[in-house]
Amino acid sequence: MNPIVETLRQRIAGRSIDPEALPPETVSELLEAARLTPSCYNKQPWRFLVLQSKEAREKGVKTLSSGNQPWASRAPLLIFAYARAADDCQIPDGREYFQFDLGMAVMNLMLAATARGLVARPMAGFDPAAVKNAFGLEEADQVLAGIAVGRPSQDESHLPAHFQGLDKKPRERKPVEAMAKVL
């Protein structure tokens, strides 16, 4: 099996996360994976807020939805991914790619995390204005994803009951025929 596809098979957006801190070289490796992402006209529009200190993480967790806070607050690493339209490749017909590029960078980061045996759960459940306010981002910055990262925890007793067992369920995906026209 292609090792990347194998890693993609292993990746789950887990909620059961061990609070133990990650080594700095692991965090650097995840950011390097994001840095290597391709982008339209090589504009590299992705930006990341990397929250590691207890104080920064606590500030970040307050911006999350009430559904995300109980599990994401355990993560030793909380990342917000953002980008601004001014960094788009600005194709003349008006198509925009900065969000697309940012999404690919987030995926590369999550894939690198999986290959290290970590969980990385992406989140849209946060208040972008609160993130911008808490961390001094600019008005033009579009905060598109939070990512909670850490080692997987086998003990799920810290999770609210309705989340327990979900990390072990088989993933749900439509069949290839529903997504690809092969001509």
Interface residues with ligand FMN (CB under 6 A) are: 12-13, 68, 121-125, 145, 171
| Residue nearest ligand FMN, CB atom distance | 125
CB of 121 to ligand FMN, least distance (A): 6
Nearer to ligand FMN, 176 or 183 (CB): 176
Q: CA 20 to CA 30: how far, in whole Å?
A: 17
Distance of CA 172 to CAs 9, 13, 50, 175, Å?
A: 12, 12, 30, 10
Q: CA 72 to CA 5: how far, in whole Å?
A: 27
Q: CA 63 to CA 183: how far, in whole Å?
A: 46
Nearer to ligand FMN, 16 or 39 (CB): 16
CB of 182 to ligand FMN, least distance (A): 23
CB of 68 to ligand FMN, least distance (A): 5
Nearer to ligand FMN, 38 or 67 (CB): 67
With helix as H, strand as E and coil as C, how does 75-99 read? CCEEEEEEECHHHCCCCCCCCCCHH
CB of 24 to ligand FMN, least distance (A): 26
CB of 125 to ligand FMN, least distance (A): 3
Q: CA 135 to CA 79: how far, in whole Å?
A: 12
Q: Do the beta carbons of residue 145 and residue 105 sit within 8 Å?
A: no
Nearer to ligand FMN, 14 or 92 (CB): 14
Nearer to ligand FMN, 13 or 130 (CB): 13
